[in-house]
Amino acid sequence: MDYLTDSRDIRDAIARYCQRPILWIDTEIADFRSKTPKLSLIQVLDDSTDFKGDRASVFDVLECPECAIEFIERIAVNPAIEKVFHNAKYDLKFLGDKNAQNITCTLEIAKKIPYYLAPVPNHTLKTLAEHLCKFPNVDKSEQSSDWGKRPLTPQQLYYARMDVVYLAQVHLRLLQLQQMAQTDPATEDINALILRYRRIEQQWKCLDSEMSHLKERLKVAMHQQQVPEQGGFKVSTHTKTTKKVAFGELAQLAQTLDLDLDLSITLNKSLQKELGDVMEKLAIEEQVSTISQLKVAPQQDDDVPF
């Protein structure tokens, strides 16, 4: 790992990174809970085969804001370089914000992966690194340490360099899962999909039924025992008021008071039936939409393919 504090060394490293097609980047922020947070470190990795952070660079820009500006101008806004962050929305507040281009956010990718492909309790970098990439016991205790104090401790520097290592591996794994999740409906093997569906159908029905039953029992029990919140479950009661008026009365009132009620209403099947032939005298605007619906027939013993 290169821990760079001299502005000339940082600028030289930035110049080298400008030639890379992809960079995995993280930041550490001093006084991040205050109203005046300050960029402390920029960590960069350009080699996804590095599992120890040996090729990572840590730029100490706390007292060198001009180095951070150069990083933004030469890397963050450079569309030719893909920049990968975990929580890009946060990091980019300090690295070019909306001017940054060619940004990849692993947090957003992870959120779109179906749960069965990535069964994780949350989408923090620590969780993804441990569950998807099998890194053991990722230590994030230094995350909330004082990044405005110098000198930095060896533990802080280790944390800083390893964050981009975790990021690179999580990114690669998420790309694999993303490819598995994104299929071409024109070439899908329908028989294989049906087979998989039938294999897990009964298991899913049992779990879904039990989950619904448990939720209902919890709701009733917590309400009865006056327990508003417990173990992540919360019961709330609210009153919903619906106001209705006869359409004829509304039309008569609008005419009497000369109200401008030039609005469209949806003619459902009941209204269409009641209007009958009168509909031909109305200037009706039709909007046609096609809705696809999958109906699953109950499975018979003879249909079981396994």
Query: Residue 301's pLDDT is what?
Result: 52
Q: What pLDDT sits at residue 59?
A: 98
pLDDT for position 110 = 98
Instruction: List the pLDDT tens digit at each of the 306 positions of the chain.
Output: 899 999 999 999 999 999 999 999 999 999 998 999 999 999 999 999 999 999 999 999 999 999 999 999 999 999 999 999 999 999 999 999 999 999 999 999 999 999 999 999 999 999 999 999 999 999 999 999 999 999 999 999 999 999 999 999 999 999 999 999 999 999 999 999 999 999 999 999 999 999 999 999 999 999 999 999 999 999 988 888 888 888 888 888 888 988 887 778 888 888 888 888 888 888 888 888 877 676 667 765 555 444
pLDDT of res. 306: 44
Kindly provide the b/e burial profile for residues 223-234, where b requires at least 16 CB atoms within 10 angstroms of the residue's own CB. eeeeeeeeeeee
Per domain, the residue ranges of the chain are 2-181
What's the pLDDT at 268?
87
Whole-model pTM: value is 0.78
> Quick one: pLDDT at residue 298?
72
64 touches 71 (CB < 8 A):
no
Would you list the DSSP string of 213-237? HHHHHHHHHHHHTT--EETTEE---
pLDDT at 303: 55
DSSP-based three-state secondary structure for 57 = strand
Rg (CA), the chain: 29
For the chain, the maximum distance between any two Cα atoms, rounded to a whole number of angstroms, is: 85
CB count in 10 Å sphere of residue 49: 7
Top-level CATH class of 2-181?
A: alpha beta
